[in-house]
Amino acid sequence: MRRRPAVLIVGGFGALTGTGTALLMLPGAAAGDESADFMTALFTSVSAVCVTGLYVVDTPMYWSVFGQVVVLCLMQLGGLGIMTMASVLSLLVLRRFGLRMQLTAQAETKTLGLGEVRRVLGLIVLVTALFESVVMLALTARLFAGYDRPLGRAAYEGAFYAVSAFNNGGFVLHSDNMMGFVADPWFCLPIIFAVIAGGLGFPVLLELGRRLRVPRRWSLHTKITVAGTAVLLVCGCGAITVAEWTNPATLGPLSPQTKLLAGFFAAVMPRSAGFNTVDIGSMYPATLLVQDVLMFIGGGSAGTAGGIKITTFALLAFVIHAEIRGEPTVHVMGRRLPEGVQRQALTIALLGVALVMTCTLVLLVITPFGLDQVLFEVVSAFATVGLSTGITPDIGVAGQALLVALMFIGRLGPITLASALALRERPRRYELPEERPIVG
């Protein structure tokens, strides 16, 4: 893990994806008489393992109960794997830089102890089980009491949605996604709670559990993640609700209270969840662009959310603020931001933009769809969100293969790139003469 983290991570997720593809191609996985073809199984497996939620077939109609359980397990293992690897890589990075300030023999081993890894893994499993159990009970009770579901079916749907929500998976058991629950706060709010919790990231959840009442003692990472999440949710909810308030195909026919609930739901889901209670394909272009931005930013680090992460976006904003003020260094909430972290944030953001633009251009060439739809689909795949305007099943095998690669890169790329940049950082032994080119 210390020497080749990227190889181990990509290999592990590749093996899990291959296993999921093989299981979904079994005769009993599809509800019909014929087995799923390779591309359908591969696309579904990658989307589940990368907790994206894009799909090329209708999950409740195409897959049997066995196939749905396979998707459920892939989401759970994918979510646990993402939180585990991101947390362990964070420990590796912190240990590496902590060594510079320690002189003990134990610190100089430059290794992450097996006991520490086991402790992290145990805590992640415990936190995941706790949140999913609470949400499952709430959803099961609501489906049983409010929708006359048999207890067994209510428990199954409650468990599926709890796992899908906390892991930001985006898979559903209803053909209209969650549009049938648009006016039901007792169903929507537990889903929102699970999505936000999973998107904050394991380090933040752990710190909030220990120091919830003393914000002044929170780490810089937790402060940025919590504050950034709040700002994005408020701004996103306001922008989406105002833009769609009179849209007859989305929020227009709803009551004011339901409009607010649906608007908030629509602002939370671009963090990486992929659920929708209104028709995404009928939203105005301005609303789609707002969701593009929210999806690209994503959620917290070392969590199940995708995107370039809130911390990356926030750090770039702090860098811009310092540059505008003419300050030589970047100060954030009483701390100075290292130059290496600034370069890492800039690298991840610009590479993400380049990847999204390149894939958007390719899909515009090989498909008949417009820019709004194609850009939305590409950003959703890169940020592993799962929201869709409905064009994914119709973009052809080549387009679907491109989205498969984009989901895999978008899920693992930012994490492995950030850790690789941090772990490879080393001092330069000399500097060349300085020369300042014209900027702007």
Q: Is the model's pLDDT at 336 over the cut of 70? A: yes
pLDDT band at residue 87, thresholds of 50, 70 and 90? Answer: low
For residue 304, what pLDDT is reported? 81
Specify whether the CB–CB gap between 168 and 51 falls below 8 A. yes
What mean pLDDT do residues 205-213 have? 87
62-69 contact pairs (CB < 8 A, 24+): 62/30, 62/31, 62/32, 62/36, 63/24, 63/29, 63/30, 63/31, 64/28, 64/29, 64/30, 64/31, 66/26, 66/28, 66/29, 67/24, 67/28, 67/29, 67/30, 67/31, 67/36, 68/160, 68/173
For residue 190, what pLDDT is reported? 96
Q: Which of 68-82, 113-127, 140-154, 171-185 has the lowest mean pLDDT?
A: 113-127
Q: Is the model's pLDDT at 23 over the cut of 70? A: yes
Hey, what are 293's tokens? 């931005």
For residue 104, what pLDDT is reported? 32
How far apart CA 324 and CA 320 sit, in angstroms, is 6
> Looking at per-residue confidence, does 107 or 431 come out higher?
431
What mean pLDDT do residues 10-25 have? 90
pLDDT band at residue 251, thresholds of 50, 70 and 90? Answer: very high
Q: Is the model's pLDDT at 110 over the cut of 50? A: no
pTM of model > 0.85: yes
Specify whether the CB–CB gap between 29 and 71 falls below 8 A. no
Q: Which of 7-11, 22-26, 47-51 has the lowest mean pLDDT?
A: 7-11
> Looking at per-residue confidence, does 320 or 84 come out higher?
320
> Looking at per-residue confidence, does 297 or 420 come out higher?
297
3-state secondary structure of 228: helix
Q: Is the model's pLDDT at 303 over the cut of 70? A: yes
For residue 201, what pLDDT is reported? 83
pLDDT band at residue 98, thresholds of 50, 70 and 90? Answer: very low
Q: Is the model's pLDDT at 112 over the cut of 50? A: no
Backbone φ and ψ for 178, nearest 5 degrees, come out as -115, 25
What mean pLDDT do residues 238-246 have? 96
Q: Is the model's pLDDT at 97 over the cut of 50? A: no
371-409 pLDDT, tens digit each:
999 999 999 999 999 999 999 999 999 999 999 999 988
**Displacement of CA 178 from its chain's centroid (Å):** 19
Of the chain, the end-to-end C-alpha distance in Å amounts to 42
211-221 pLDDT, tens digit each:
888 888 898 98
For residue 21, what pLDDT is reported? 96
149-178 pLDDT, tens digit each:
999 999 999 999 999 999 999 899 999 999
How far apart CA 325 and CA 309 sit, in angstroms, is 25
- Give the mean pLDDT of the chain: 86
